[in-house]
Structure 1
Amino acid sequence: MLGVATAADLLRLLVLPGFAWAAYRDIRTRRVASSLWLPLLAIGALALVIDATAAFPFDGYAGRLFLVRVGFSIVFLVPFSVLAYRMAAFGGADMKALVVLAVAFPTTPAYVVPLWILPDVTWLHTVGFPVHPSTLGVTAMSALTNAVLFGAGYVALLFASNVAAGRFSPAMVVGRWTGVEDLPEVHGQLIRVGGLRPERGLDLDALRMYLRWRGTTLATVRDDPDRHRDPASVGETRPPTDGAVHDGPRTDGGVDDGGFEFPESDAGPSGIDDAGDRTTDAGAEADAAGDTDDPWAAERFLDEIEGTAYGTTPETLREGLDRVVAEDALWVSPGLPFLVPLFGGLVLALTYGDVLTVALGALGLV
């Protein structure tokens, strides 16, 4: 139970369940509905208005400090998140989450919580949160800093696990050795290891889009890669979805939540389906045109779908497919779902504080 907190700070706590849900969806599908962020932004804006009303007319040290902290949070973090999104360092959900944080937590809220009450009710033990408020006093920045440290810890653990398993490669710092049969259930990108510097290859969401477009599974493609490499083998195509693991037909041969199961092999060429709608006779068209210059029908796939399949080119798709049918395991850059460390960083900022500030203070650097 909360003992002491302002109305605005109590209101801000309503943002936490939304971030928890976003973190869960980020782990499961790497997709977060845009409709989540507007209510959270409204809650944060209302809390900010309540604080601003209390601080008005912003005279004295406390009033001016409030303006400085709010200005830093909004003027720095909002453009930073948008720029990171434009540079493809953040996803759209990551950008929106940071904008919400900048508006909802531009200062440091204070919560006084009773820990226990002794039989003598005249004595109450309480503790204030966060335990170590940052010197800057901008919780949104503390949450981001904590999230970056969590991310660095994840990279260190990834490196240590590869060392412990004896997997020494230029990709060992950024990649996880993954069995090809597990790729339909994994988010991330294949890693090319051809030199000292690993390079990112085919996005696994794009791989799932391709398999759903063909109406097949990865296991089926691996069983007969030569036939699937022939563009004439593509029959009736299906919606590719957006490639999320759990938000579309499964591509590992299992049955999805809706009971849909792909056939064990691709559909053959067809003309008119049972409902009377025209479908594509890919085999006949390819034979007539003599089209043998599009292995895996990669160009056709990218021409037919909406969007770019996460920047995938025909060459990247072909190279990735050639690798997944030839190898049993590959290096995959899993990519840390950023909303997970961001949620953890926010919880840590509200309870303990800015870990970096505490560490630097312990070293006598701040």
Structure 2
Amino acid sequence: MPTSLTTLASLPDLLRLLAVPVLGWAAYRDIQTRRVPNRTWLPLGVLGLILLAVDLWAVVPPTTFTDRLVLLRTAISLGFVAPLAYLFWRLGGFGGADAKALIVLAVLFPTFPTYFLPGVALPVVVPTLGVFSMTILTNTVVLGLAYPLGVALRNVLRRDFAPVMLLGHRSEVVDLSEAHGRLMETTEGYTRSGLDLDALRMYLRWRGTTLADLRADPENHRDPTSVGETYEPTDGAVNAASGGQPSEFGGPHAPAEVTADDPWAAERFLDEIEGSAYGTDAETLREGLAVVTDRELVWVSPGIPFVVPMFLGLVAALTYGDLLVGLLGSLGLL
């Protein structure tokens, strides 16, 4: 029977377990707000670098095959998994928090840790490659694949059928002010690249109006000359200070030159804000505004917060091990 924590695992591997509550909190924040503060990752990143230095100190210069294997696995984690996270972010496949989380995990978990419990050593399934951050990533993908199946089942039970039923659900338009995700409809049909709901909130705050007011008088809002003073759009977060109210974002902007052929003042909005409204262009914004002012129900893709399956993938990796290797092995494919 273990008599101390150090008999359960090495001290570095015990310290690595701090990633579990931190990532769990980040997953909760991601579900609630789709925002994870940057400061979340700094302590784990620093811890990862310290533990990495400790591990490398023990194997440099390498004198055994095991030492060289540790160096190879570390090189794969830092030289492949971490850059892959950055690449996914650049291509739009990851959010900023998703990429930072995976990069931190690549530094913190380059090789498989080992935890000794009574009668068993965890993780149970350790692949030949032995790069723990890669296992976290593959576990994340495997668990993430369950999401569209769950969405589809929910839609079947509610008898909501559409070509996009694997990726979204129907929502009342009046609820979009506090929803996360992206519209999956245009005035002409379904789409996977509709208006981002954060961008919608940015637009409403920029105009100093609300979704209810927009729906009550769409013709007036469609007229670009109806836009007078404009306000800070914030970042579109649900709980951010609304435009037009005194806040840390400052006061209203002076009216800009009005272009008559700019329905909804969409181009003016995109020209005035700093940065990008989550990749939204003027036409996408106009289509989205036309949809939310014309319909009572719309299809919305809530988008799965990737930090959530990453947290579950980390927990699965620390206990069971590599889900994909285990699945392929059970099917006789390995």
- How many angstroms does 1:246 deviate by? 2.2
Report if aligned partners of 2:222, 2:263 keep a CA contact under 8 Å in 1. Answer: yes
Moved more, 292-301 or 335-344: 292-301
Fraction of identical pairs, as percent: 53
Partner of 1:311: 279
- How many angstroms does 1:166 deviate by? 2.2
Report if aligned partners of 1:206, 1:310 keep a CA contact under 8 Å in 2. Answer: yes
Secondary structure at 1:201's aligned position in 2? coil
Partner of 1:116: none
Q: Which runs of 5 or more structure 2 residues have no equivalent in the other structure?
A: none
Report if aligned partners of 2:148, 2:166 keep a CA contact under 8 Å in 1. Answer: yes
Partner of 1:43: 47
- How many angstroms does 1:183 deviate by? 0.8
Partner of 2:88: 84
Partner of 2:131: 138
Secondary structure at 2:241's aligned position in 1? coil
Partner of 1:334: 302
Change (3 A) 1:337 1:67: same
Report if aligned partners of 1:147, 1:345 keep a CA contact under 8 Å in 2. Answer: yes
Report if aligned partners of 1:184, 1:250 keep a CA contact under 8 Å in 2. Answer: no
Based on CA coordinates, which of the two structures has the bigger radius of gyration?
A: 1
Secondary structure at 2:315's aligned position in 1? helix
Change (3 A) 1:295 1:351: same
Report if aligned partners of 2:206, 2:233 keep a CA contact under 8 Å in 1. Answer: yes
**Distance in 1 between residues matched to 2:190 and 2:206, nearest whole Å:** 33
**Distance in 1 between residues matched to 2:233 and 2:52, nearest whole Å:** 42
Change (3 A) 1:67 1:196: farther
One-letter identity of the residue aligned with 2:254: T
One-letter identity of the residue aligned with 2:58: A
- How many angstroms does 1:212 deviate by? 0.8
Report if aligned partners of 1:213, 1:239 keep a CA contact under 8 Å in 2. Answer: yes
- How many angstroms does 1:154 deviate by? 0.5
One-letter identity of the residue aligned with 1:73: S
Q: Establish whether residue 160 from structure 1 lines up as the match of residue 153 from structure 2.
A: yes
Partner of 1:321: 289
**Distance in 2 between residues matched to 1:239 and 1:202, nearest whole Å:** 19
Secondary structure at 2:184's aligned position in 1? strand
Secondary structure at 1:31's aligned position in 2? coil
**Distance in 2 between residues matched to 1:312 and 1:242, nearest whole Å:** 13
What are the superposed Cα offsets for residues 222-271 of structure 1, whole Å, 9 maximum, x if unpaired? 111112112222232221001011233399xxxxxx999xxxxxxxxxxx
State how 1:176-195 maps to structure 2 within 5 Å.
176-192=169-185
**Distance in 1 between residues matched to 2:116 and 2:241, nearest whole Å:** 46
Q: Establish whether residue 104 from structure 1 lines up as the match of residue 113 from structure 2.
A: no
- How many angstroms does 1:278 deviate by? 8.7
Moved more, 338-347 or 240-249: 240-249
One-letter identity of the residue aligned with 1:131: V
Report if aligned partners of 2:231, 2:243 keep a CA contact under 8 Å in 1. Answer: no
Q: Which runs of 5 or more structure 1 residues have no equivalent in the other structure?
A: 114-124, 252-257, 261-276
**Distance in 2 between residues matched to 1:194 and 1:87, nearest whole Å:** 27
Report if aligned partners of 2:9, 2:114 keep a CA contact under 8 Å in 1. Answer: yes
Match of 1:229 among 219, 222, 225: 222
**Distance in 2 between residues matched to 1:364 and 1:182, nearest whole Å:** 48
One-letter identity of the residue aligned with 2:137: L
Moved more, 344-353 or 224-233: 224-233
Partner of 1:55: 59
One-letter identity of the residue aligned with 1:147: T
Change (3 A) 1:279 1:359: closer
What are the superposed Cα offsets for residues 284-334 of structure 1, whole Å, 9 maximum, x if unpaired? x65xxxx43222111211111111211211111111001001001111111
Tell me how many residue pairs correspond in the alignment.
Answer: 327
- TM-score, normalised to structure 1, is 0.83
What are the superposed Cα offsets for residues 156-175 of structure 1, whole Å, 9 maximum, x if unpaired? 11112222222222111112
- How many angstroms does 1:109 deviate by? 0.6
State how 1:59-78 maps to structure 2 within 5 Å.
59-78=63-82
**Distance in 2 between residues matched to 1:96 and 1:104, nearest whole Å:** 12
Secondary structure at 1:202's aligned position in 2? coil
One-letter identity of the residue aligned with 2:327: A
- How many angstroms does 1:213 deviate by? 0.9
Moved more, 46-55 or 340-349: 46-55
Moved more, 191-200 or 13-22: 191-200
